Amino acid sequence: MSSDQTTFSAVLGVVLANLRKMKGIEQGEMASKMGVSQASYSRLESGKSSFSVDQLYLAAQALEIDGAELTQRLNKAVQQLNVNGVPVIAPLRGNATKANESGVDPGSMLMGAGLAALLIGMLTK
């Protein structure tokens, strides 16, 4: 993955981080409300781990919004990134051999996530 793209999980993490901060909720409190460790939640929010459907809805409940609103915010962020020339992709899943054959570079993915965070932060102000 090149540095000018990001993943859906990374974008969702940024959307959740922005909502969490707007509501004055710390990561540890969010993790506790979702029933995961703070470290696990941090990986989800940073885009290093992917959300399950269950975690998506638990996050929405923790933020006291419904799943539809969270999904709408995610869709809006993805659309804005695409308009700004930042493709949002689903990374290959599976073994390391497949990832290496596809040219997926974890360092590039993190740079893409950083770019996404910057763009979404600017868009939500």
CATH of domain 6-123: 1.10.260.40
- Residue-by-residue DSSP string for 52-103: PHHHHHHHHHHTT--HHHHHHHHHHHHHHHHHTT--EEPPP-S-HHHHHHHT
Domain layout of the chain by residue ranges: 6-123
Give per-residue pLDDT as tens, 12-48. Answer: 999 999 999 999 999 999 999 999 999 999 999 998 8
**pLDDT (tens digit, 9 = 90+) per residue, 91-113?**
776 554 555 555 555 444 445 55
Q: The pTM is what?
A: 0.73
